[in-house]
């Protein structure tokens, strides 16, 4: 029996702009899972990343809002300067709690809250980056029975974050960047697209 998944969480830092661009271009318009992303960024950044990814992706890309209900077939970004958490009712909450792993938003915060909510119906993905943020969160996802995916360090612009994740977690798949989007695409269930 094929495992059913309800959401994908993605964490990245240095080099993430290129990596996310490559992955989101692979998602079809009918992709049904919500994709929730933490990209480490400066707090004064505007919504440039969301606008850029909207041009690359068939999915609607936006920064997550506090109390917003998570919807299928959307790609959400953590707003700069806020931790992004998932609540039990599958809505977002934003927090200005202290930085975790020198980061706000923190990948660990998103991944751990998502693991609590989605349990074994969650896919976690760690991409290129320059610190260890995400390692503990990915371990939590794997511990709840979710699927753990890490970018092959040799294909990452900055290999430190993928290497730390691999060291911390018995990951399910280590994939080159160009393999990640096609791999994730197989888990979606088509949704009706209005014409």
Residue 61: pLDDT over 80: yes
The three-state secondary structure class of 185 is: helix
Tell me the per-residue pLDDT of 83-130, one tens digit each, with 9 for 90 and over: 999 999 999 999 999 899 889 999 999 999 999 999 999 999 999 999
Whether 169 has a pLDDT exceeding 80, the answer reads yes
- Backbone φ/ψ region at 173: left (φ over 0), alpha (ψ -120 to 50), beta: beta
pTM of the model: 0.93
One of 13, 112, 132, 135 is an active-site residue; which one? Answer: 13
What are the tens digits of pLDDT across the range 15-48? 999 999 999 999 999 899 999 999 998 776 667 8
Give residue 156's Cα distance to chain centre. Answer: 16
- Cis peptide leading into 27, omega within 30 of 0? no
pLDDT of residue 194: 46
Catalytic site residue from 103, 108, 112, 133: 133
Q: Does domain 7-185 have CATH number 3.20.20.100?
A: no
């Amino acid at each position: 029996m094929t495992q059913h998944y309800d959401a994908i969480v993605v964490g990245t830092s240095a080099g993430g702009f290129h990596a996310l661009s490559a992955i989101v271009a692979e998602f079809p318009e009918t992709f049904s899972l919500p994709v929730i992303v933490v990209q480490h960024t400066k707090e004064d950044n505007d919504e440039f990343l969301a606008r850029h990814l909207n041009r690359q992706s068939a999915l609607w890309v936006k920064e997550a809002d506090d109390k917003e209900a998570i919807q299928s077939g959307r790609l959400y970004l953590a707003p700069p300067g806020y931790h992004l958490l998932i609540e039990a009712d599958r809505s977002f909450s934003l927090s200005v709690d202290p930085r975790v792993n020198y980061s706000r938003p923190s990948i660990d915060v998103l991944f751990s809250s998502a693991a609590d909510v989605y349990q074994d119906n969650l896919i976690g993905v760690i991409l290129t980056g320059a610190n260890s943020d995400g390692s503990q969160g990915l371990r939590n996802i794997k511990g709840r029975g979710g699927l753990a995916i890490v970018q092959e360090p040799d294909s990452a612009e900055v290999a430190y974050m993928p290497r730390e994740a691999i060291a911390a977690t018995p990951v399910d798949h280590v994939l080159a960047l160009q393999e990640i989007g096609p791999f994730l695409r197989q888990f979606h269930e088509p949704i009706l697209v209005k014409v």
